[in-house]
Amino acid sequence: MKQILKVIIAVGLVVALATGANAAILNITNGTPGTIPTNQTNDLLFPILGVNTLGGYYGSTITLAGGPANILVEYFGAEAGFTNSFAFPGTLFTHSGSGTTEINLPPLTTTVLNVNDGILPFSFLYNQTGANLTLANASNVPDNPGVANFFASVYGNPTATSGNGIFLFLDDGAGSIENHLDNHDDLVVRLSVPSVPEPATLLLLGLGLIGLAGLRRK
């Protein structure tokens, strides 16, 4: 009986701690709702997500809350005429351009450790008309023909503004206003933070441990 009580107390402490813990989460802030693509075909949406259009947000900034946390960066590929890259501190994924389509399934991955709360320090590096330019996270702009920007969408819930994973779709702004390919497939990445077990899941685990302890006692 004493052994069972010890297990109950231990499980109770674990559940209480889990309930009070704050899991890290990614946020889409200051964005305008929209859908990609607008007037062309996005060559990566269907291979990656099995859809031809996707809801999300233009002109947003991506932030982290509940950190510090490890950020998983997944590079799914690109379809672009220019050389484009995605840069996070210590991380760089690059597509060589030349109008080629690159699809990585499974995606190429890396993990950025101990990222602090606030605006995530990533940038898209793009080569528009021969110039090497930077689109930083905090400098994203609304969607306009010929202007580089990225589209953000929470994985599994396109109308949400917070989640464990967020897709980023780059439009490098190539082309004139008349023939601009506004499809946001010039480079695609997903940022994710690890999820934590729900308190209910831990409670079920604890009940199982109690049952095992009772069987052992018998």
CB burial of 184-198 (b: ≥16 within 10 Å; e: otherwise) equals bbbbbbbbbbeeeee
Of the ranges 7-16, 60-69, 187-196, which one carries the lowest mean pLDDT score?
A: 7-16
pLDDT tens for residues 43-92? 999 999 999 999 999 999 999 999 999 999 999 999 998 899 999 999 99
pLDDT tens for residues 117-130? 999 999 999 986 66
For residue 147, the 8-state DSSP code is: S
pLDDT bucket at 179, cuts 50 / 70 / 90: low
Domain boundaries, the chain: 1-21+197-218, 23-195
pLDDT bucket at 39, cuts 50 / 70 / 90: confident
pLDDT bucket at 28, cuts 50 / 70 / 90: very high
Lookup result for tokens 């506004």: 182
Quote the strand ranges of 1-97, DSSP E: 25-29, 32-36, 54-58, 61-65, 69-80, 84-88, 91-95
- Give 77's contacts (C-beta < 8 A, 6+ positions apart): 44, 95, 101, 102, 103, 104, 107, 187, 188
pLDDT tens for residues 104-115? 999 999 999 999
pLDDT bucket at 16, cuts 50 / 70 / 90: very low
pTM as predicted:
0.81
